[in-house]
Amino acid sequence: MMSFSFLSFVQSIAFFVMLHPLHVSVTEIEFDEKDKALEIMMRVFIDDLELTMRKRLNQPELDITAPKGITVDQMMQPYINEHFKITLDNKVQKLRYLGHEQEGEAFIFYVEAENVKKLKTIQVMNNIIMEMHDDQSNLVHVTVRGKVKSLRLTKDEQTNSLTFDTK
């Protein structure tokens, strides 16, 4: 029985190692017409983000889940503001960082854009972690009036646009 448990453990670790080297984040953007806002959730693997922030802050011992002298939100707000931008119908949006939570091996960051009256074309720039991992893919799913469209942003294409019907 002991060897079966050990084998299961090894298989679980191997499965996680095979999946995670893909270096991916997933961002969901939903247009809430009633509240006239974009509600944004960004899911990023903690270990990838930790490596990035260690390099960025020149703190090789940084534990991103319990940083010393600064909160996760104080550290991440300027980083996200620099590496994630939204333009609606050729107008750059002011994004408001709301906070984060930890879910398993990932952080979920919450951001919003207020005073969004309409949305026809959305341009998203997302180069989170791309300075650390050349193979980083940032998937972006945008929901407008129940319709979902998606983008895959990479180091070679960090910005792209989607157009929605105005009906």
| DSSP line for 106-167 | EEEEEEEEE-----SEEEEEE-TTTTT-TT-EEEEEEEETTEEEEEEE-SS--EEEEE----
Residue 149 in any domain: the answer is yes
Q: Are 150 and 131 in contact (CB under 8 A)?
A: no
Residue 122 in any domain: the answer is yes
Count how many domains the chain has.
1
Q: Is the pLDDT of residue 32 over 70?
A: yes
Residue 17 in any domain: the answer is no
Q: What's the mean pLDDT in 72-79?
A: 96
pLDDT band at 106 (very low <50, low <70, confident <90, very high): very high
What is the structure's pLDDT at 23?
A: 86
Structural domain containing residue 82: 23-163
More confident residue, 62 or 12: 62
Q: Is the pLDDT of residue 11 over 70?
A: no
Residue 118 in any domain: the answer is yes
Question: Which helix (H) or strand (E) covers residue 99, if one does?
Answer: strand 95-103
CATH code: domain of residue 109? 3.30.70
Residue 14 in any domain: the answer is no
